[in-house]
Amino acid sequence: MTDASHMSNRPEQPGSPLTALPRVTVVIPVYNRLQFLADAIESVLSQSYPAIEIIVVDDGSPLDPAPVTACYASALQLVRKPNGGLASARNAGIAHATGEYLLFLDDDDFLEPRAIEHLAGALQTSQGFEWVAGKYVYVDERGERLPRNHSCRYSSGDVYERMIFNNLIGAPSAVMIRTDAIRELGLFDEVFLLSEDWDLWLAAAKRFPLLVIDDVVTHYRVHGQQISTQWARHLDYHLRVLRKHKAVARPGTERLFDLGIGKLHRDYGDAMYCKGLDARGARSHWRMAARLGALDQAHLRWRLGKSYVPAPVLNRLRSVADRLRAVGVA
């Protein structure tokens, strides 16, 4: 159901220079986080690039977003659907999109003022690319920058093998992709309630080289309501993504998927151990990582050995080591 008729945020007159620009559709799924939604919408409306369509998708949210979107009724389209998760919400936005390019902005993030100009301009002026990625920064609930940076470093070209080991993109709103390309890929897989973006980026990386720009284009907000904090569920979905793509891998890359799965087990085991959650579970993940080649025997034995040391003793040893390092002994 559509609550407002489609309009771009700036009207285009026939024959004006704006008609030469490819339209960019920005899809904003929303589910309950209404306190950030206005910031997301405002960041699109304030873009330096004029040919933009905004589609807000209400993913069956118990908190009605209409009171927020009503303030912008002439500049966006509100689409309502039953709750189905981010993948289905983004797909609903794609179904209504009329733009040549697509950008997916989460309801708690916001764009840099020239983000769409930089991303769309790069796609327009570079031949042979179907998608482009920029950088992002982390911000707190108030939108203030945090001392963390986009950790992945990559350059334009074939990123398929690197994408197996990590979702290089990070924030979905750091990417712009041609609408025809994403439809050709089959849209977001609605089976994935988490990691749906990594699933799509892996499919895109297999088919298309990635264009990379050096500009910061979006802000990733860190707060307590994020599903990205549910790291136990993320492991399950990360593993599902890699198993799915291993079955359709480029010839010769199957072994990389085994290593990628092993790396997930290694990192998850490390996280469980460091957070003091489940030493026995951590050991199980480390052994699986070793079987898949993501941990050599020396590092496996080191991790297993530490995991049997009582926490008070280990903390005391760490404290002594920290003091030795401070005076230059260790």
Residue 330 has pLDDT above 90, yes or no: no
Fold of 17-229: Spore Coat Polysaccharide Biosynthesis Protein SpsA; Chain A (3.90.550)
More confident call, 243 vs 271 = 243
Three-state SS annotation for the chain? CECCCCCECCCCCCCCHHHHCCCEEEEEEECCCHHHHHHHHHHHHCCCCCCEEEEEEEECCCCCCHHHHHHHCCCCEEEEECCCCHHHHHHHHHHHCCCCEEEECCCCCEECCCHHHHHHHHHHHCCCCCEEEEEEEEECCCCCEEEEECCCCCCCECCHHHHHHCCCCCCHHHEEEEHHHHHHHCCCCCCCCCCHHHHHHHHHHHHCCEEEEEEEEEEEECCCCCHHHCHHHHHHHHHHHHHHHHCCCCCCCHHHHHHHHHHHHHHHHHHHHHCCCCHHHHHHHHHHHHHCCCCCHHHHHHHHHHHCCCHHHHHHHHHHHHHHHHCCCC
pLDDT one-digit tens code per residue, 14-50? 344 445 899 999 999 999 989 999 999 999 999 999 9
Q: Where are the domains of the chain?
A: 17-229, 251-326
The pTM of the whole model exceeds 0.75: yes
The mean pLDDT of 232-249, rounded to a whole number, is: 93
The mean pLDDT of 159-188, rounded to a whole number, is: 96
Side-chain-side CA neighbours of 280 within 13 Å: the count stands at 0
Q: Give the pLDDT band (50/70/90) at residue 201.
A: very high
Q: Would you state the pLDDT for residue 276?
A: 78
The mean pLDDT of 64-90, rounded to a whole number, is: 96
Residue 273 has pLDDT above 80, yes or no: yes
pLDDT one-digit tens code per residue, 274-302? 887 788 999 999 999 999 999 999 999 99
Q: Would you state the pLDDT for residue 326?
A: 72
Q: Give the pLDDT band (50/70/90) at residue 63.
A: very high
pLDDT one-digit tens code per residue, 82-93? 999 999 999 999
Q: Would you state the pLDDT for residue 318?
A: 65
